[in-house]
Amino acid sequence: MKDPVFEPIMIGELEVKNRIYMPAMHLGMAEDYQVNDRIVAFYKERAIGGAGAICVGYATVDDLSGNTQCIGAHKDEFIPGLTKLSDAIKEGGSRSVIQLNHSGRYNYSFFTNGKTPVAPSPIASRLTREEPREMTKEDIDEVIKSFGEAALRSKNAGFDAVEVLNGTGYLISEFLSHLTNQRTDEYGGSYENRMRFGLEVMREVRKKTGGNYPIIVRMNGNDFMEGGQGREELKEYAKALVKENLVDALCINVGWHEARVPQIVTSVPRGAFAYLAKGMKEIVDVPVIASHRINDPALVREVIGDGLCDMVAMGRSLIADPYLPEKARTGKEDELVHCTACAQGCFDNLFKLKPVECLCNPKAGYENELNIEKTDSPRKVVIVGGGAAGMSAALAASEKGHDVSLYERNNRLGGQLHLAGAPPGREEFAVFADDLSKQIEVSDVKVFLNKEVDEKTIEQESPDEVILTTGAVSLTPKIPGYDKDHVVQAWDVLSGKAYVGKNVVVIGGGAVGVETSLYLAEKGTLSGDMVKFLLVNKAEPEKDLYEMSIKGSKNVTVIEMIDKIGKDIGKSTRWSMLQDLSRFGIDARTNTKAVEIKDGSLVIEIDGNTEEIQADTVVLAAGSVSYNPLEKILTEKSISCKVIGDANKIALAFDAVHDGFAAGNSI
């Protein structure tokens, strides 16, 4: 039986070998708009990995449309770099596409040498807080012309197709939405007028590139803005694009950057937004591409096979595993590494003006630099600890050709990744633990589970190198009453070793405390399957179903000594987790100190005043301390060793994976 993922598809007159489309993602790698070897190597790796088409960008259309870390398409001097990039993608076996965009009011003046960003109307965004300059008719004409010229440059650079971003809160969608377009001329007011700018841009792109050149539009299926554009209004724009033959395929994404509906983080269920592609596919006769949180070939088969879409955009999935398509095609699907949707290395890096990296894939963005070569001098390497750092170190050392033994004191590999994956909506971390375990299984690494490494083990192995990734242990703050029976550790709660009463107080508002609080607040709520069953059968009013989905059987309070909850959570994820704290009714208190644990209560101090709150169970989430019992023994035996991960310094999963890779690769 044919696999729908690997059936060819036509986009206009362009044949694409399979249904996997890598969408444009800002990588932050360009230098003064110029394509460099780093960008070329990044995309060529994904082309070799088997994606049907790869869209790069976004690319700028003028000097107000982006920043110098964007790929430039607004001057002829950028054509040689664009050509090199397009050629590399095609040489790797994929079709090359470039996305053009103008950021509008989403740009920052410090990116544009102090020039004020432009927009349909002078309405500031919640992202920049800067009031943009309202575009004149001359500005509009010039930007439309710039889109066309950038598209022609892209075609001349050898790209097989061009994509124009018409959504996500950028300039074209700013014209489409009445929230950001309050003009009174022919570009504002009625929806017909608000569509005018986008349609004129697309007409110019079609005119400049010629009638047979494939054009894709990436647009919202729903902007998720309060009072903004929903599905039906955006469908009208899609129909207008198709009616005028201005587009050969539609790539449907969701939300503006300001929207308060999570779009990319791990709490978003896989394939949650494919329904928007389905709605578009029902009304247009061009291929429709579904987007967001589709990170597994089985799901690609499902959404295409079920008729929801014609292709699937897999962006961060191909950052995490460039060879996902080829593994699926060759029957090695169980060996792929799934994107965790953590955003720690991709979106969070962009907020820091750093190039994109990946928690799951230390080589991402460093394809030229981290191309591991086999060693001429294999060594015997022992790695103690089978968590993220240990597995990453073992894989890198084994890839170099060393004789690697990995010891884990528990009965499975994965360590704290399993704890991170315990709360609802965080399951991808547990999947990542399984993915790394599979990578170990198909490698030459020898694994020893349920084995505590001691001096005798070291003597038996007689290693040349030892990497210690023994992790951390929970910190127990010496609060009076900490040793009472109703006091438990957060790790024990998340692992199912400890149960809690109705009224729970979590001490510690960092990542672990927040995750534990949300985990407990979900207890007794309706699951997604339950909601669907009750909704379909009209068993309860919709309002009641909503309440039963967010109100569980526990009363949860989380306290934090500093003035910020979730300080160690990445920016892309933190806002949605804080939103969930509020939604689930968790009482989150900052600048609050735990003074004494009593039977049935906790005494806290806020601004010098004490208060006693009910606590059937007190959960300690006050952090962890490094656990490293072997370094001294190895030093005394003059055995070379490295201490990495939490055993060296408490850090994020991102750091554990990358430090592990670096340690294994350095041998």
Residue ranges per structural domain of the chain: 4-351, 380-472+626-665, 476-622
Hey, which bits of 435-483 come out as E strands?
446-448, 465-468, 472-474
CATH architecture of 4-351: Alpha-Beta Barrel (3.20)
Length of the chain, in residues: 667
The pLDDT of residue 405 is 98
The pLDDT of residue 634 is 94
CB 160 within 8 A of CB 151: no
Place of tokens 């001096």: 455
Hey, which bits of 340-483 come out as E strands?
380-384, 403-407, 446-448, 465-468, 472-474
The pLDDT of residue 176 is 98
Hey, which bits of 375-459 come out as E strands?
380-384, 403-407, 446-448
The pLDDT of residue 350 is 83
The pLDDT of residue 640 is 93
What residue ranges of the chain have pLDDT lower than 70?
none
The pLDDT of residue 336 is 96
Alpha carbon distance 617, 602 (integer Å): 9
Q: Of the CATH numbers 3.40.50.10800, 3.50.50.60, 3.50.30.40, 3.40.50.300, which one belongs to the domain with range 476-622?
A: 3.50.50.60
Hey, which bits of 228-285 come out as E strands?
249-253
CATH 3.40.50.720 describes domain 380-472+626-665: yes
∠ CA(525), CA(516), CA(336), 5° rounding? 90
Alpha carbon distance 571, 278 (integer Å): 31
CA distances in angstroms from 609 to 309, 589, 595, 600, listed in the order given: 59, 14, 11, 20
For 309-318, letters b (16+ CB in 10 Å) and e give bbbbbbbbbb
Alpha carbon distance 309, 279 (integer Å): 9
Alpha carbon distance 223, 254 (integer Å): 6
Question: pLDDT digits over 324-354, tens only?
Answer: 999 999 999 999 999 999 999 998 888 888 8
CB 448 within 8 A of CB 623: no
Measured torsion, CA atoms of residues 75, 79, 80, 85, in degrees rounded to the nearest 10: 120
Alpha carbon distance 521, 537 (integer Å): 26
Alpha carbon distance 413, 447 (integer Å): 9
